[in-house]
């Protein structure tokens, strides 16, 4: 018994020694690791290149440490943007895949028709309605696949134009903010001179300084908005987020559409996918109902087929009205925005002259600082409003011209 106790005691002491030694070694390793980590240099404000470990995938990424757009400068016109988006953008790839899918559906209908014809020759019995439905589906899918692709590309071009000119409009806003700051700084300089000569109170000087600081804030906000839009544009175009891209086109007042409202409505009723889809569904649903004419009127199959046909009929009646309403709405938008552009152009001219006269009157002691600042504010707001109206007018013209084509809506085959 004593021998057993002694043996147990020895084992306990041995194990305790091993545990203590292990703990001491672990503490030593932790201390070394901590010292090693603390000696690792921290990231600086320089551009950081992150690589990949053996357990990760992907290329190294250079991180720009500030909001400077860099890389080899890219000059891009709107036409070049169109070409790039249609050539290698993810959106164009999706459109191409959708076209392949639609062509596959069309091929499937064609194969079904061939099989049905072969089966009939071999003695198979099929209703005339079934054959007619398959032939309609085959013809519709064969022609509509290309129209769906066309509408998807038109949507892509519309999105590209909107992104491009929205970015240009924000560039205009930054320039307007810069010009406004220059006016405020000139006014401050004049006020400082007047204060030294004792012709204005110190409150005027303080107010002029405040106005300069506010103009700086407005410029910073405009620049931040532009930077955000640049990142969004780069992402949309498939460039690096901080790629330096220069848009070479400018927002100019485009001519009013030459096509009349009547002609555009006629083209829309002939071309729009919504109309073609409504016509197709009405044909198919009417033929399906023929299959169940022999069924009791109270049966679920006849009722379902009847409801489908009535819904398709209602949609066929509403589709042309909806399309016409869309064209008319876009037509009114063009005229409304055109009027706003003409008004805005004159407002900017008048506001600029008013600001100039107010400045001259202030210099001659015939106007107050508040008069000049009021005129400057009106001039600044007029320029911003005109810039936005010009963008909206150009986009409205494009939307109206697009309304007479297949449109931008894809339909199910």
**Tens of pLDDT along 360-386?**
999 999 999 999 999 999 999 999 999
Mean pLDDT, all residues of the chain: 86
pTM: 0.79
> Considering the chain, what percentage of its residues have pLDDT values greater than 70?
85
Within-domain flag for 40: no
Integer angstrom CA distances of residue 144 from 36, 284, 324: 66, 15, 21
User: For residue 352, what is the DSSP state?
Assistant: H
Helix or strand (DSSP H, E) at 27: helix 2-38
More confident residue, 129 or 16: 129
Residue 305 in any domain: the answer is yes
Query: What is each CA distance from 128 to 53, 120, 131, 297, in whole angstroms?
Result: 66, 11, 5, 22
281 occurs within a structural domain: yes
Over residues 49-102, the pLDDT tens digits come to 544 444 444 455 678 788 889 889 999 999 999 999 999 888 899 999 999 999
Q: Using CA atoms, how far apart are residues 101 and 141, in angstroms rounded to an integer?
A: 11
Is 50 among the domain residues? Answer: no
What CATH number is given to the structural domain containing 250? 1.20.1600.10
The pLDDT value recorded for residue 130 is 83
pLDDT given at position 27:
45
Listed range (48-52, 77-81, 112-116, 266-270) with the worst mean pLDDT: 48-52
CB 257 within 8 A of CB 394: no
Strand 70-76 to strand 61-63: parallel, antiparallel, or no bridges (unpaired)?
Answer: unpaired
84 in a domain, yes or no? yes
Decide if 55 is inside a domain: no
User: Residue 320 sits in which domain range?
Assistant: 69-403
Which residue, among 22, 291, 319, has the nearest Cα to 131 in the 3D structure?
Answer: 291
Looking at the 3D structure of the chain, how many domains does it have? Answer: 1
């Amino acid at each position: 018994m004593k021998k057993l106790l002694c043996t147990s005691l020895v084992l306990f002491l041995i194990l305790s020694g091993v545990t203590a030694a292990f703990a001491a070694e672990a503490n030593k390793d932790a201390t070394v690791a901590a010292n090693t980590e603390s000696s690792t240099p921290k990231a600086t404000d320089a551009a950081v290149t992150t690589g990949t470990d053996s357990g990760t995938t992907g290329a190294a990424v250079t991180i720009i440490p500030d909001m400077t757009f860099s890389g080899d400068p890219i000059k891009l016109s709107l036409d070049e943007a169109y070409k790039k988006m249609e050539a290698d953008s993810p959106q164009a790839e999706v459109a191409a895949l959708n076209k392949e899918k639609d062509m596959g559906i069309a091929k499937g209908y064609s194969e079904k028709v061939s099989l049905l014809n072969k089966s009939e020759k071999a003695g198979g019995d099929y209703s005339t309605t079934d054959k007619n439905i398959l032939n309609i589906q085959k013809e519709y899918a064969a022609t509509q696949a290309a129209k769906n692709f066309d509408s998807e590309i038109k949507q892509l071009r519309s999105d590209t134009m909107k992104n491009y000119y929205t970015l240009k409009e924000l560039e205009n806003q930054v320039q307007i903010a810069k010009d406004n700051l220059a006016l405020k700084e000139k006014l401050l300089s004049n006020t400082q001179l007047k204060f030294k000569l004792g012709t204005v109170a110190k409150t005027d000087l303080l107010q002029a300084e405040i106005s300069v600081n506010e103009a700086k804030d407005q410029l910073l906000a405009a620049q931040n908005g532009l930077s955000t839009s640049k990142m969004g544009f780069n992402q949309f175009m498939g460039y690096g987020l901080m790629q330096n891209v220069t848009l070479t086109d400018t927002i100019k007042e485009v001519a009013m559409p030459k096509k009349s409202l009547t002609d555009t409505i006629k083209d829309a009723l002939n071309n729009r996918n919504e109309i073609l889809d409504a016509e197709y569904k009405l044909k198919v649903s009417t033929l399906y109902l023929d299959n169940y004419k022999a069924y009791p009127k109270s049966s679920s199959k006849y009722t379902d087929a009847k409801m489908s046909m009535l819904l398709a009929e209602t949609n066929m009646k509403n589709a042309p009205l909806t399309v016409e309403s869309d064209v008319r709405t876009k037509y009114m938008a063009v005229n409304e925005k055109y009027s706003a552009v003409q008004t805005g152009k004159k407002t900017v001219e008048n506001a600029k002259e008013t600001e100039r006269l107010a400045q001259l009157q202030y210099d001659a002691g015939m106007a107050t600082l508040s008069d000049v600042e009021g005129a400057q504010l009106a001039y600044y707001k007029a320029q911003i409003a005109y810039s936005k109206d010009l963008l909206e007018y150009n986009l409205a013209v494009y939307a109206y011209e697009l309304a007479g084509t297949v449109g931008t809506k894809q339909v199910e085959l």
